[in-house]
Amino acid sequence: MVFDRKYSDEVRQRAVERVLERRRDEPENRSIVREVAEEFEVGPQSLRKWLTRYDDGSYDYDSPDGHGDGWEAGTPPPAARQQRRPSQRELQARIEELERRITVLQEDNRSLTRVVSLLADQLRAATTSGVQTPDSTIGHPPRV
């Protein structure tokens, strides 16, 4: 027996777009999903599931001819392209990129610390051996 979809792809798409639009316009409103579910006469739990699948990029809406309508898997609906949340895969990729950058910056920091230490040692050696460095004469009046 083939499972018949209770809601059309158009209803799903419009409902998800409406929730995303209202979330952007009314960020404090915690009942948006329930209200949109009533507006589109769909179950709130179904709408939550569609939103979850939209957020993680696992839902692909098909057109009536079965060839897709531009809402590719992992891409936002037209109304939400600017405000969509990143998927888990995108977040994980971003975390990995930032961890690589942290590693490079830590290596750079260690190198700079070694250079500063070497320069400090050279300055100490120069001042203790009686050699006047340009910095040691600044701010002192000439001796008479």
Average pLDDT of 45-61? Answer: 80
pTM, rounded to two decimals: 0.42
The top-level CATH class assigned to 9-85 is: mainly alpha
Query: Pick the residue with more confidence: 18 or 62?
Result: 18
The domain limits of the chain are 9-85, 90-130
Query: Pick the residue with more confidence: 127 or 101?
Result: 101
- Is 57:73 a contact under the CB 8 Å cutoff? yes
Please list, in sequence order, all residues whose beta carbon lies within 8 angstroms of the beta carbon of residue 51, skipping any fewer than 6 positions away.
Answer: 16, 19, 33
Give me 25's structure tokens. 């316009």
pLDDT digit string, tens, across residues 9-33: 888 889 999 999 998 888 888 899 9
Q: How many residues would you count in the chain? A: 144
Angle at 54 between CA 45 and CA 36, to 5 degrees: 45
Query: Pick the residue with more confidence: 66 or 62?
Result: 62
pLDDT digit string, tens, across residues 85-121: 778 888 899 999 999 999 999 999 999 999 999 999 9
